[in-house]
Chains A and B, each alone.
Chain A
Amino acid sequence: QLQLQESGPGLVKPSETLSLTCTVSGGSISSSSYYWGWIRQPPGKGLEWIGSINYSGNTYDNPSLKSRVTISVDTSKNQFSLKLSSVTAADTAVYYCARQGQWHSKYFDYWGQGTLVTVSS
């Protein structure tokens, strides 16, 4: 059974960079059939896709985040990571990592449990 687990600091100061890692177990991140994505959910609000990466490092991300997003992959560790720069209180959210299909299947079928990141001084 595929499992994903987010890890990283729960508190980040304004203007700093948020960094999270997702560790995949029970399957290989090197599968060519999938992308690996980040989605966030501010407290009490809806879901927002942040960006996704595949095993070879091809990425695409949400233009609404204005180039603040960097996503990378480490196939040797079966992990992928998110960096979000210049954070503000508006970036406070539960951050999820998830598996995303490719081509005509770009829905998210496996999710991590999520990790709350609070932006505050």
Chain B
Amino acid sequence: EIVLTQSPGTLSLSPGERATLSCRASQSFSSSYLAWYQQKPGQAPRLLIYGASSRATGIPDRFSGSGSGTDFTLTISRLEPEDFAVYYCQQYGSSPPTFGQGTKVEIK
């Protein structure tokens, strides 16, 4: 199975700053079948990005995704207070679908 490694484990930033999260795959997979999710404490994950760069319905444009092959990035252009959460990447180009271990974005 494809292993996704997210870095950093924790990102300490202030509101208004830019966040750059990385997701690296152990091997290349079909096309850009990568999604990003946001999870807040006690809540289910919420889909942010699919197809590596397409925003899900209702997701603000401060969230953007990029990358291909084995290296993918989620960027939050200007952090809002509600963006402090854990973010997971997921690949669905190879079975079984797998998730990264998560990056926590915390308030500095």
Residues of A within 8 A of B102 (CB): 46
Q: Which 7 A-B pairs have the closest CB atoms?
A: A106-B92, A111-B44, A107-B35, A47-B99, A107-B50, A46-B101, A62-B96
Contact status A107-B47, CB under 8 Å: yes
B98 nearest CB neighbor, chain A only: A49
Q: Which among B97, B100, B101 has the greatest number of chain A C-beta atoms within 10 A?
A: B97
Alpha-carbon gap, A31 to B90, bound state (A):
24
Shortest beta-carbon distance from A48 to chain B in Å: 7
Number of interface residues of A (CB under 8 A): 21
Residue-wise interface mask of B (65-80) relative to A, using a CB-CB cutoff of 8 A (1 in contact, 0 not): 0000000000000000
In the complex, which residues of chain B have a beta carbon less than 8 angstroms from the beta carbon of A64?
1, 96
Could you give 27 example pairs across A and B, Cβ below 8 Å?
A46-B88, A46-B99, A46-B100, A46-B102, A47-B45, A47-B90, A47-B99, A48-B99, A49-B96, A49-B99, A60-B95, A60-B96, A62-B96, A63-B96, A64-B1, A96-B45, A104-B31, A106-B97, A107-B35, A107-B50, A107-B92, A108-B35, A109-B56, A111-B46, A113-B43, A113-B44, A114-B44
Inter-chain contact A108/B45, CB cutoff 8 Å: yes
A61 to B1 alpha-carbon distance, docked (Å) = 13
The distance from the CB of B55 to the nearest CB of chain A, in whole angstroms, is 12
Spell out B's residues near A (CB within 8 Å).
Answer: 1, 30-31, 33, 35, 37, 43-47, 50, 56, 88, 90, 92, 95-102
If A46-B101, A105-B50 touch, does A111 touch B45 (CB 8 Å cutoff)?
yes
Q: Which residue of A lies closest to B102 (CB)?
A: A46
State whether the Cβ of A112 lies closer than 8 Å to any Cβ in chain B. yes
Closest Cβ neighbor of B4 among chain A residues: A46
Would you give the shortest CB distance from B96 to chain A, in whole angstroms? 5
Within 8 Å CB of B1, what residues of A? 63-64
